[in-house]
Amino acid sequence: MISIRDLRKVYRQGEREVVALDGIDLTVPTGAVHGIIGHSGAGKSTLVRCLTLLDRPTSGSVSIDGSDLSTAADRDLLQARRRIGMVFQHANLLDSRTVLGNVAYPLEVTGQDKAARTARARELLGLVGLEDYESSYPSQLSGGQRQRVGIARALASDPRVLLCDEPTSALDPATTDGILELIRDLSDRLGLTVVVITHEMHVVKKICTSVSLLDRGRIVEGGALTEVASDLGSRLSAALLPLPEAALDTAGSLVEVLGQGPAADVPVSAVIKDRFGHGVRVLAGSVEDLAGVRFAHHLLALPDGADDRTDGTEAVVAFLEQNGYRAAQRTRTQVETAQGTAQDLGGAQ
C-alpha cells in the first residue's frame, strides 16, 4: 500500500516561489493499478521525483507498507529506493551493457554474486518475453523491447511498488497496448501495487482500477474507475467517456445522459418516447466498457419548446434520474468545455 500525505514541493526560482505540488493526499491499496493523469505542467514529473526521492519533498510524507520514505536518512535512502521499481518513459537503459547486464544492474549494486544475479536476470527476461535477447545491446532493440527490458530491470530488486512514468508515451499504439497488458499482467501475478503517471486517458482505461486527476499540483478528482466515470459532469468522466464531436444544430435544450450496467443496454430515446410521447434526437453517443462495466453516454436534443411544457426538460431529467440514469441539462458552452477537457486529457475520439 502506498500512502501519500499532504505532499508539498516548493521550488525557488530566484525571488519567486513556485508551488509544484500543493498538498497531495493519495492512498493506493495493495494490488491496485492507479493512474495519475494530468496535462503537462500539472506537476506529474515533480510527483515522480518526490515519490522516488530523487527530490526531497518540502513537506508531507510518502510511505510504502507503513514505512515512511520521506524521513529516511541518506544512508537508508538507498534501501528505501529499492522498494520502488521504476519504469521510465525512455527506458533509460545503460547503452554500454547487454540486456542481461542491464537487468542484473540493480542486483549488482546490492552486492549479489554473479551467478545469482545472472539466474535472476534470466528469469525476469523470461517474464517479459525477451529470453532470446540477453546478449543484445539496447541499441539493437525496438522501443517496445527496450521498455520490456526496463520493466524487467524495475522488478529485479523485488519491489512492492512499480512506478511507471509515462511508460508508453514514446511508443506506437500497437506496442503501447502490449506494454500495458504486460504491466497489468505482472501486477496480477506478482501482487504489485502499480502507479502509472500519464497524460493519456487511453492508458488509464486500458489498465487502471482507479485514477486521480492532477491539476496545478493538486489532486482535484479521483476514485475507482467506474465511480469517477459515472460522476456525470466531472472532468474525468468527460475524458473517460468522451462523446464524438456533435453538430449542435438544434433550437431545443440539450440533455446529457449516462447509463451504466443494465441501463446502458436500453436505448434511452425509446425510454423517453414511451414515457412522454415525444421523440428526442441523439446528437452524439458512445458505448464503452470500463473495468468490466458498460457505460452508454449520450447527448440528446429535446424538441424545440419542450422547456415551456409540463413534460419539458426538467421533467425528462428527473424521470431519467429516477430510472437509473445520470442526466443533466447542458448549455452549449458546457458541451464544448467537456469536449475540450476530453481532448486535453487525451481521451477524445
Please provide residue 284's backbone torsions phi and psi, each rounded to the nearest 5 degrees: -155, 150
**CB of 135 or CB of 331, closer to another protein:** 135
> Which residues inside 86-115 make contact with another protein, applying CB under 8 A?
86, 88, 90, 92-97, 105-106, 108-110
**CB of 94 or CB of 119, closer to another protein:** 94
**CB of 89 or CB of 341, closer to another protein:** 89
Question: Per DSSP, what are the bridge partners of residue 87?
Answer: 164
**CB of 86 or CB of 306, closer to another protein:** 86
Cα dihedral 85, 221, 214, 52 in deg (nearest 10): -20
Q: How many residues bind another protein (CB under 8 A)?
A: 26
Using CB under 8 A as the binding rule, whether residue 169 contacts another protein is answered as no
Using CB under 8 A as the binding rule, whether residue 116 contacts another protein is answered as no
The three three-digit cell numbers of residue 138, written as one number:
539496447
CA dihedral over 341, 343, 345, 347, signed as positive or negative: positive
Contacts of 254 (CB under 8 A, 6+ apart): 248, 283, 299, 300, 301, 302, 329, 330, 331, 332, 335
Using CB under 8 A as the binding rule, whether residue 18 contacts another protein is answered as no
**CB of 45 or CB of 337, closer to another protein:** 45
Q: Please name the residue ranges forming H helices in the chain.
A: 44-51, 74-81, 99-109, 114-127, 143-155, 173-190, 201-207, 225-229, 235-240, 268-276, 313-322, 332-344
Least Å distance, CB 151 to another protein, is 13
> Which residues inside 55-84 make contact with another protein, applying CB under 8 A?
78-79, 81-82, 84
Q: Which residues contact another protein (rule: CB under 8 A)?
A: 52, 54, 78-79, 81-82, 84, 86, 88, 90, 92-97, 105-106, 108-110, 137-139, 153, 157
